Structure 1
Amino acid sequence: MNNRTLWASNNNNRSSRHQATTVRQGPITGQQQQLIQRMNNIIYDDPQMICRPSKYLKTIPLNVLYRIISIQINHKLRTSQEKAFIQLRLCIFDALFCYDLHRCMWQSFLDMGSQYQIWPEHVIKMVMASDETSTENDSVVKFILTKIDYFQNKLEQHECELLLQSASFPSTLSLTTVDRELKHFVSSHQTAMSNKINSDVTRFKNYIKEKQFIDTMSSNSVTDAQRDIVNRIKDMRQKQLQIVEELWMLERRVFYGFLPKAYDEVDYKLAPVNSNSIPYVGHTSHDLANQYRTKVKKTKRIMLQNDIQQYESKIADIECQFQQELKKLEEQFLNQNVNGISLVDSLKAYTVHRTQQGLEQITGNMKAFQIRLFRRYRRSSTAKNKIGVSPEPIIDVSEVPLTDAELAYLRRGPGYIRPNQTWLYSDKVRKEFIKGEHDTITEKILYNLSTHHKVGRSSAISKQLCNKVNTCLIDRYKTPLSVKDRLCARNDLKLVKSIRRKLKKANLILRITDKSNVFYIGRSIDFEQKAEAYRTRTNAYIELTYNPLREIFLKVVHELNDLRVKKLIRAWQHKRMLPDRRKTKLAHMYFVPKAHKIGIPLRPITSSIHAPTTGISRLLDLLIRPIFDEKVKSTTFIDGVDLICRLMKYQEEGLLQPSTIFCTFDITDLYTMLPQQESLDILVNFLRHFGFEQVAGIPLDVIRKLAHIVLTENVFVYNKKYYRQILGGAMGSPFTLTLANIFMWNWEKEFANKLNSSREIYGRYIDDVFFTWNGTVQDFKHELKKLNQLHPNIKLVHEMGIKVSFLDVLVHNDNGILSTSVYHKEAAEPYVVPFVSDHPRRIFNNIIDAALVRAVRYSSTLTHFNHERRLIRLKLLYNRYPPKFIDKQFKKFFNKYSSTWSSSQILPIIDNENEFFAIRQQLLVKPSVDREKRSKRIARANMTPEERQQEAERRAEQARRRLIFHTTHEKRLRSIKRDLHNLWSQHFDNTELSEVQLIIGDKTRPNTKRELQHTRPDPTYTNLPTDL
C-alpha cells in the first residue's frame, strides 16, 4: 500500500475517469480493497459525476502523502489504523469541499437571479433540456433549488460520515488538529476548482449588468441617436478584438516557430544571384551560408517588428475612437437613471463584460488555431527547412555532423538547464547526492543554532530536526514523474552525450560567442591557428619548458610570511592573501570567438580563480578600487544610466547645441597591452597623488611589491603548454581591472581636464570613452592624433557624429534635443534563458522586469520605449516564453510603477506619454545595481574604526536573526523550501528561534555551457605536486 496512490484500484464498477493515472507496484490487501470500495461507494457516490476524486488524490503516492500529513499534524503516522483513518477522512473533507463550493455557486445564482430576474444562459439551456415545454422563471428557480437541495443533502450525508468516523478515531491522534490540517490541505490543493467557481460567479455578475444595459437601451428613455452610438461602440470593439486575434495568432506562430508563408518568401528573395536554390551549408561556403542566414533572420525579425507595430497602431486608433464615442455617450447619460440604475455605470460594466467575453473567446480560438498549425507543419516538407528567427548556433564549418534534433538542442543556448536531472541518477548516486544536500543544509542549521542560539549540535531537538530534513529530502527526491517528463529527461541526456561524442570525433570545438551569447562551432585546428596568431601579434606571452606552479606557490607563501613577520601586513590581510595548498591550481587560458567581427577573431580569458596569486589580487582590488571609484568618479561612467543622467544635466544647463557632436573611443587590447613596470609606477603615483602613503596599513612599497607579484607571476597552461604573460595582466584577475583603470587615469587626465574646463562631458568605462565636442572637426582630428601618440601601447578606434552608441545606449543629438534609446549590437542575438529551462520561476520574472526597467530608463520618448517593448516581447517569444506569461509580467510591471495604469486594457502597453514620463522619472531616481555596489564600496572603505565596529555588530545581529542556506533547484522539488520552512516552524514555534528569518536560496543544476563547453585542462597540468 505504501507504494500505491490513494485511488489506485482495480474496481471495475466505477468509471474509468476515477482511476489513478499513476499506479505503483505492489499487491492490495483485502482490508485496503474494502477501504477503497467504501470511499468509492459512500464518499463519491455521485450519479451526476459533479464531484470526482481530485487529481492530487490520484497522483500523490501514499508514502509521500503520509509524510506530508505527518509533518502538518506533527505526528508520524505509524499504524495501519492511523493511516486508514487519515485516508478516509481526507477523502471526506475533499468531497465536502467540492460539494460546498458547488452549493455556494448555485446559491449565488439563485440570490442574484431572484433579485434581478436574470438567469445564467447555461442554466436556461439545462432547464430547456430537462423541460422543453417551459422556460418560465418558476421553472428555473425550481431547477436551481433542486441543485441546491442535492448538494445540501450530499453535505449532510458527508457530515454524518464524519461524525460516524470520529467515534472511532485513534487515541494517538488529536481530532481537532487533524481536522484543521486536513481542511487546510484540501483547500490548498483545490485552488483550481475554487478559481473556476469564482470565475463562473463573476461572469454571471457581469452578464447581469450586460443584460440590464441592453434592457435599458431598449427602453423609451434612450434616444435613437444614443442607440446608434452604442452600436458604433459595439462594432468598434468587435473590430478591435478581431485585430487582437490576428495579433495573437502571429505571436503563436513566432512562439512555435511557424511563421506565415509571406515570411518564407524572404528565403528566396535574399538568396545569392548565382544560386539556383537556397544555399544551405554544403551547397556554398560556410561563410556565405552564415552571412545569408544572418541576413534572412534579420530581415524576418524586422518584418515581425513592423507587423506587430501595425497591429498595435490599428488597435490604438480604434481604442482612441472607442474612448471618444464612449465619452460622448457618458456625457449624454450623465445623471440619467432607469429603474434606479445609473446608465453610465451600466455602460461601463457592459463594455468590460463584452471585452472580457471577447478575449475569452479568442483564447479558446487560440487552442484550435494551435492544433491546426501543428497539423499543417507536420504535413509540410518545406516548412521544416525554412530559416527561422530564433537564436541559433554559429557554424563555422562546411559540414557539421549533428542531427536536426541535436542542433535544435543547441538552439536552447548555453543557459539552458535540462529538467529533472537527478531523476536519471542511479539509486546509489542519488543517495550520495541526497546525503551531500543533507550535510550541507544541516551544517548551516547546526552552525547557526550552536553559534548564535546556544543550541548544542548533539541536542535532542537538533538531531530530530536533522532527521526530519533527511526524511523530507528523501521523500521529495522520490517524487514521481509523468511519462512525458521522463521521456524528455532521457532524451535531453541522450542528446548531450551524442553531441559530445560527435564533436570530439570530428575534431570540432564548441564555445560561447563573445557578444551574442550563443554557441559557436568551429574546427579545432582553425581555433589553434587563431590563438597562435593572437599570441604572435601581441607578443605578450612566452612559452615555458616546465610547470612553474610549485615555484610560484612557494614564492608567494614565502613573500607573504616575510611581510607578516616584518609586520608590514596585518594578520587578517595575510590570511586573505595566503593561498590554500589543497585548493591551489595553475591558471588556464581559453579563447572565446568574436563572431560579430570579420574573420571571427578570439578574445583570451584567463581562469585564475585558484591561482597562487588570486588572494593577493582580490585583496588589492578590495583596498584600491574604492579609492579609484571615489577619486575619479567625475571622469568614469558606472553604466548606461549614469551616462544618460549626465547628458540630461548637460542639456538642462543649455550646453547641448544643435552643432554638438558625440565622440567615442575604443581602446584595443587594453588588458593585454598594459606595460607592467610602468603600470606599477603609475599605481604608486596615483595613490600618492590623492594623499595616500599607505592603504589599510600597508605601505606603498609593499603595495607595489604585491602588485608586482600579481602581474609577473601570471602563468597559465594552454593546450598542454605553459606560458608566462610578460605584457599586461590577466583578463579575469580582479586587480587587473583596477590597475587598467588607474593606468588609463594617468593617460587621460590631461585631455579630460581640458574638456571639463570647457564644461564638456568626458567619461570612461574601462576601455570605452565617451565625450561631447563643440569644437571643429579639424580640432577633433588634431586631438585624436595627439591621443594616439601619447603611448605606443594605446591604440584608439573612434566614432563621432550626432548619433553614436556607447555601452548599451544609443545617443542622438536631434537638433539640440537629447534623444536616447537602447542600443543593440548588430551581431547580438536575441537570446535569454529559455522558458523550458529548469530555472526557478523568479529568474524568468526577473529577466522581464530587468529588460523593462532598462527600456524605460534608456528611452527618452514613449515611441522609443514602445519600440523596445516590442523587441523585448519578440525576444521572449523567440525563447519560448508563453504569451500569457509575458502579458502577466508586463501588467505586473506597469501596475507596480504606475498608479494610473489600468490592467483592464486589452494589450499590456502604455499609450499615455505623461504616464510613461512619470514611470521613467521614478526609475531614473532609483539607483541602479552597479551604482549601489560602488556606493557601498566607497562607504565601506571610508568607515571610521567606530563605524567598522558598529557594522560588525550589525552583521553579527543580522547573522543571529537570519539563517541562509541553499537547496538544489529542480521543478519537481519545488516544495522542498516550503517543507523546510514548515519543519522550522514546527520545531521552534513559540520560542525565540521563531523570530529567525529562514532564507533559502537556489543552486541550479549544470547548464548546457558546463555540460558541453570544456575549457579546463587535465588536472595533471594544473594541480600542485602531492609531495609539496
Structure 2
Amino acid sequence: FGQQSDEFNLAKVSFSPTIIVHASIHVFNKEHLRLLSRGPTYVPPYQMTKRRNLEKNYKQLQHDLNRLFVKSNVNMIQSMFLQKQIKDSYMEMFSMPILSQSIHERAHYEQQLIEQIQNDLKRFNLILRRTHDQQNVFYLGDRNSFEQLSQEFMLQTDLFEIDMTIDKENVQATRDYLTNKIKLMNCEFENIFVNTTKYKDELKKINVVIDKVELPYLYFLPDLSKQPLLNVKPMMLTTQYSATYRLEKFLNQLLQPVIDIHQQGRIFHSGTDFSEKFHNYIDQYDRLRSTTNFVTITINNFYHLVPHHILLSTLLDFFVKYYRLPIVENIHITKIVRLTSLFLHNNRFYYDGKIYRFLQGGPSNSGLIETLSNIYLNLMDNFLINQSSTKQNEFYGRCQNQIFFTWNQSLNELEQILKSMKSDYHHLSFDIHIGKNLNYLDLYLENHNGILYSRVHHQHNQQPYTLPYISSKGNSIRTYSHWLRSSLLRAIRYCTSIEDFNQE
C-alpha cells in the first residue's frame, strides 16, 4: 500500500483492501494478514443463527396463526397445543445447518485463524481498528502508542471539558447527577413552551424518557491522511436513546429547510452536484477563460468551529438579518434559540472513566451541528460572494467545509480578499489552494486553455479501489450494489476523456 500505480492495466486492478501494519512486533503469517485484508466488513461464512433472531422472525407467523385459529373456531387448549408444536418444528428446522463439506471446512479454518488473531492481539498488546476514512481497511498498530496519542488529544483539546469523574465510590451519585440534568431539560422544555396544551405535540416529540437514556461514548480511529505520521480522530457512538437525540431531530427538521432555501444554488451536496452546477455555469456564462484560476478553501474542524455562545448569537443574527420572520412553523425564533442552547449545553459523553461535555460544536454525526455550522459559515459565504461573484459573475459554492470559486481578476486582488477573510475569521484554520489545476472533493479539475478537463481524484494516501466501510447496522449487499452503480455514474459524469473513464 502506498506504492500502487494508477497506470491503465486492467489485469492488475483489484478491489481487495490491504491491511495497514504499523506494529513494531507481530507474529501474523500470510494467512492471518490475508484474512484481515478483507477488511472490517468481511463476515466469515457459516455464522450461527441466534435464537433471538428466530424468535423475532417467528412473531409474524404466530400472529397469522392466531388469526387463522380464531377464524376456524379452534378452541384455546387445542390452539395452544398446535402453536407449541409449530414453534418447536420451526425452531428445529431453521436451527439446523445445511452446509456443503467445503464451506464447513472453510468456516472451521477461518474460525481458527480468528481465534489465533484475537489471542495474538492480546499477547503482543496490539490494536486492530478500521481507518478513519470510512474505507473497508484495517489498521494494525501498537496499543500503547495508539492510546498515548488518544490521551494526548484529550489533554490538549479545547473541544470539551470534564463534567464528572466516575469511580467505585460515586457510581450512584453520577447516576443521580445525570438523571437530574435530564429532569432539568424536561422542565426547561415546559418553561419554553409555557402553553403546554397548545404545544403538546412539540413537547411529546422532545421530552426525554429518563429510563431509556443511553450515554454516548467516545472512541478513536487511526487517521493516516498524513502518512507516515499517525494521528487519531475522535468518533462518537450515539443512539436514538441519547438525551439530546429527540431534541436534535426536532430542531434540525425546523432549521435545515430554512438555511437550505437561503443558500439555494451555492451549496453542493456532493461531487456530482458540484460537477453538474459547474458545467451548467460554464455553458451558461462562458466565463472559463485560459486565464481563469480555481480557488479552494478548506475550513478545518467543521463540526467544532466556534464556542457555543458564538453559534447561538450567529443563529439569532441569521434569523434577524436573513430570515426576517418571527416564527418557523408556528414556533417563535426565541424559543428555537433557547432550545438550541439546551441541545448544545447538554451534549455529554463517556470516555475513560469520565463524563465530558462539549464546549465547541458537537458530535460529527450530528445533523443539527452540521446545520448550525452551515449557518455560521453563511456569513463567510456572503463576504466572499460580495467580494467576487456579484461583481464579476464568478462561480461560487461550498460543500460542508470546502469552498470552491473561480477567479478572473488579478491575483493581488484575490490575495487582499483572502487576507481580509483570515483577519475577520482569525480563529479558524484554513487550507487554501489557487491555480489552474487542483483537486476539489473527489474531482481533479484543470483549466486547459479555457476548456475544462476533469476526472475522478483518488487521494494518494488512500487505497483507491476498495469498498467503503459498512456498519453492522447497514445492509452491505444493498450498499455495495449502490456504491458500484454510483461509482460507474461518477466516472461518466467526472471524466472528460475516454482514457480516464476506462481506467475507472
TM-score class, shorter-chain normalisation, is: 0.7 to 0.9
**Which of 678, 686, 697 is 2:310 aligned to?**
678
Could you tell me which residue of structure 1 aligns to residue 237 of structure 2? 607
Q: Distance in 2 between matches of 1:475 and 1:437?
A: 13
**Which of 496, 499, 504 is 1:863 aligned to?**
499
**Which of 503, 528, 532 is 2:147 aligned to?**
528
Q: Distance in 2 between matches of 1:720 and 1:521?
A: 25
Alpha carbons 1:589, 1:605 under 8 Å: kept: yes
Secondary structure of 2:460's counterpart equals: coil
Secondary structure of 2:212's counterpart equals: coil
**Which of 278, 288, 296 is 1:656 aligned to?**
288
Could you tell me which residue of structure 1 aligns to residue 339 of structure 2? 706
Could you tell me which residue of structure 2 aligns to residue 790 of structure 1? 424
Indicate how the Cα distance of structure 1 residues 840 and 808 shifts in structure 2: closer, same or farther if over 3 A, else same: closer
Asked if 1:806 corresponds to 2:426, the answer is no
Identity %: 24
Number of paired residues?
A: 477
Secondary structure of 1:567's counterpart equals: coil
Q: Which of the two has higher C-alpha Rg?
A: 1
Secondary structure of 2:28's counterpart equals: coil
**AA aligned opposite 2:146:** F
Secondary structure of 2:362's counterpart equals: coil
Structure 1: gaps spanning 5 or more residues: 1-292, 310-387, 424-429, 869-1028
1:962-1010 Cα distance to aligned partner (Å, 9 max, x none): xxxxxxxxxxxxxxxxxxxxxxxxxxxxxxxxxxxxxxxxxxxxxxxxx
Asked if 1:511 corresponds to 2:129, the answer is yes
Could you tell me which residue of structure 1 aligns to residue 38 of structure 2? 412
Q: Distance in 2 between matches of 1:396 and 1:633?
A: 45
Could you tell me which residue of structure 1 aligns to residue 203 of structure 2? 574
Alignment of 1:39-188 (within 5 A): none
Instruction: State the Cα RMSD in Å.
Output: 3.2
Q: Distance in 1 between matches of 2:83 and 2:479?
A: 30
Could you tell me which residue of structure 2 aligns to residue 550 of structure 1? 179
Could you tell me which residue of structure 2 aligns to residue 438 of structure 1? 58
Indicate how the Cα distance of structure 1 residues 544 and 839 shifts in structure 2: closer, same or farther if over 3 A, else same: closer
Q: Distance in 1 between matches of 2:396 and 2:315?
A: 22
Asked if 1:749 corresponds to 2:376, the answer is no
**AA aligned opposite 1:726:** L
Indicate how the Cα distance of structure 1 residues 468 and 819 shifts in structure 2: closer, same or farther if over 3 A, else same: farther
CA displacement at 1:503 relative to structure 2: 1.8
Indicate how the Cα distance of structure 1 residues 696 and 389 shifts in structure 2: closer, same or farther if over 3 A, else same: closer
Q: Distance in 2 between matches of 1:748 and 1:494?
A: 56
Could you tell me which residue of structure 1 aligns to residue 120 of structure 2? 502
Q: Distance in 2 between matches of 1:538 and 1:562?
A: 34
CA displacement at 1:420 relative to structure 2: 2.1
CA displacement at 1:647 relative to structure 2: 1.7
CA displacement at 1:492 relative to structure 2: 2.9
Q: Distance in 1 between matches of 2:68 and 2:10?
A: 66
Could you tell me which residue of structure 2 aligns to residue 849 of structure 1? 485
Q: Distance in 2 between matches of 1:565 and 1:765?
A: 39
**AA aligned opposite 1:504:** K
TM-score using structure 1 length: 0.43
Asked if 1:646 corresponds to 2:274, the answer is no
TM-score using structure 2 length: 0.85
**Which of 93, 96, 107 is 1:478 aligned to?**
96
Alignment of 1:272-671 (within 5 A): 294-295=2-3, 298-299=4-5, 302=6, 305-306=8-9, 390-422=16-48, 430-439=50-59, 441-442=60-61, 459-460=71-72, 474-515=92-133, 516-546=135-165, 547=174, 548-564=177-193, 566-567=195-196, 570-598=199-227, 599-609=229-239, 610-652=241-283, 653-671=285-303
CA displacement at 1:690 relative to structure 2: 1.5
Higher-RCO chain (CA-CA 8 Å, sequence separation at least 6) = 2
Could you tell me which residue of structure 2 aligns to residue 174 of structure 1? none
Q: Distance in 2 between matches of 1:686 and 1:764?
A: 18
Indicate how the Cα distance of structure 1 residues 420 and 561 shifts in structure 2: closer, same or farther if over 3 A, else same: farther
Alpha carbons 2:387, 2:417 under 8 Å: kept: no
CA displacement at 1:839 relative to structure 2: 7.4
Q: Distance in 1 between matches of 2:441 and 2:410?
A: 25
Q: Distance in 1 between matches of 2:349 and 2:477?
A: 39
Secondary structure of 1:422's counterpart equals: coil
Q: Distance in 2 between matches of 1:408 and 1:606?
A: 30
Q: Distance in 2 between matches of 1:842 and 1:656?
A: 40
Could you tell me which residue of structure 2 aligns to residue 287 of structure 1? none
Alignment of 1:1002-1017 (within 5 A): none
CA displacement at 1:737 relative to structure 2: 0.8
CA displacement at 1:773 relative to structure 2: 0.9
CA displacement at 1:583 relative to structure 2: 2.6
Q: Distance in 1 between matches of 2:255 and 2:200?
A: 19
CA displacement at 1:564 relative to structure 2: 4.6
Indicate how the Cα distance of structure 1 residues 538 and 581 shifts in structure 2: closer, same or farther if over 3 A, else same: same
Indicate how the Cα distance of structure 1 residues 496 and 623 shifts in structure 2: closer, same or farther if over 3 A, else same: farther
Alpha carbons 2:2, 2:460 under 8 Å: kept: no
CA displacement at 1:727 relative to structure 2: 2.0
Of stretches 613-622 and 546-555 in structure 1, the one that deviates more from structure 2 is 546-555
**AA aligned opposite 2:258:** I
Could you tell me which residue of structure 1 aligns to residue 372 of structure 2? 739
Q: Distance in 1 between matches of 2:408 and 2:197?
A: 50
Alpha carbons 1:617, 1:735 under 8 Å: kept: yes
Q: Distance in 1 between matches of 2:335 and 2:114?
A: 50
Q: Distance in 2 between matches of 1:490 and 1:731?
A: 39
**AA aligned opposite 2:196:** K
CA displacement at 1:732 relative to structure 2: 2.0
CA displacement at 1:687 relative to structure 2: 2.6
Indicate how the Cα distance of structure 1 residues 519 and 567 shifts in structure 2: closer, same or farther if over 3 A, else same: same
CA displacement at 1:646 relative to structure 2: 1.9
Alignment of 1:897-908 (within 5 A): none
Secondary structure of 1:545's counterpart equals: strand
Alignment of 1:828-843 (within 5 A): 828-829=462-463, 830-832=465-467
1:583-627 Cα distance to aligned partner (Å, 9 max, x none): 311121112221121422122222232321111111111111111
Indicate how the Cα distance of structure 1 residues 583 and 488 shifts in structure 2: closer, same or farther if over 3 A, else same: farther
Secondary structure of 1:510's counterpart equals: strand
CA displacement at 1:662 relative to structure 2: 0.9
Secondary structure of 2:444's counterpart equals: strand
Indicate how the Cα distance of structure 1 residues 541 and 843 shifts in structure 2: closer, same or farther if over 3 A, else same: closer
Alpha carbons 1:538, 1:673 under 8 Å: kept: no
Q: Distance in 1 between matches of 2:70 and 2:245?
A: 38
1:372-409 Cα distance to aligned partner (Å, 9 max, x none): xxxxxxxxxxxxxxxx9942121222112434322221
**AA aligned opposite 2:117:** I
Q: Distance in 2 between matches of 1:647 and 1:459?
A: 64
Alpha carbons 2:300, 2:429 under 8 Å: kept: yes
CA displacement at 1:792 relative to structure 2: 3.0
Secondary structure of 1:605's counterpart equals: strand
CA displacement at 1:734 relative to structure 2: 2.5
CA displacement at 1:567 relative to structure 2: 3.2
Q: Distance in 2 between matches of 1:786 and 1:707?
A: 31
More strand by share: 2
Indicate how the Cα distance of structure 1 residues 657 and 568 shifts in structure 2: closer, same or farther if over 3 A, else same: farther
Indicate how the Cα distance of structure 1 residues 461 and 846 shifts in structure 2: closer, same or farther if over 3 A, else same: farther
Indicate how the Cα distance of structure 1 residues 780 and 403 shifts in structure 2: closer, same or farther if over 3 A, else same: same
Could you tell me which residue of structure 2 aligns to residue 820 of structure 1? 454
Asked if 1:770 corresponds to 2:404, the answer is yes
Alpha carbons 1:556, 1:612 under 8 Å: kept: no
CA displacement at 1:726 relative to structure 2: 1.4
Could you tell me which residue of structure 1 aligns to residue 349 of structure 2? 716
CA displacement at 1:472 relative to structure 2: 5.9
**AA aligned opposite 2:410:** T
Could you tell me which residue of structure 2 aligns to residue 45 of structure 1? none
